Amino acid sequence: MRLAFFFAALTAALGIAAPAAADRYVINLGAATIAVPTCGSGGGSAVTLPAGAYILQVSGEDAALCQAATCASGGVTFVVGTQIPIWNETERSVSCRSTGGTALVQFIKADRG
């Protein structure tokens, strides 16, 4: 139940879809990881996330993700240690914010199989 709520919040805030139950995600070791460069307390600059499959990973501390230029407020909060597969249907800008400014948000390219 908690996971379903989590994916509903992710979809509502960022327009990123949860994978289908039968989908398998395999990390693409040859592709570059996309990291949000600054996840400070006042929000950080955005990165462009191309369409495709990713593993969303949050480390350092909890982080809020936004589909906005800086994520100064709002967004969806992900706890430190989050590692979930996501399917991004269209290219979009993603930014983040964290209380202490030490969160690292990465989108690790994956292949659906």
> For 20, which DSSP code?
P
The model's pTM is 0.77
Number of folded domains that form the chain: 1
What is the residue whose two structure tokens read 């909890």? Answer: 62
* 24-50 CB burial, b ≥16 within 10 A, e <16: ebeebeeeeebebebbbeebbebbebe
Residues 6+ apart with CB under 8 A from 109: 27, 28, 31, 32, 33, 34, 52, 53, 54
pLDDT reported for residue 3: 46
User: According to the model, what pLDDT value does residue 67 have?
Assistant: 87
Residue 57 lies in domain: 2-112
Question: What is the rounded distance in angstroms from the CA atom of residue 32 to the CA atom of residue 85?
Answer: 16
Surface-to-core class of residue 53, CB atoms within 10 Å of its CB (0-12 exposed, 13-18 middle, 19+ buried): buried
Per-residue pLDDT reduced to its tens digit, 55-113: 999 999 999 999 888 888 889 999 999 999 999 999 999 999 998 888 999 999 998 77
Specify the CATH number for the domain of residue 91.
Answer: 2.60.120
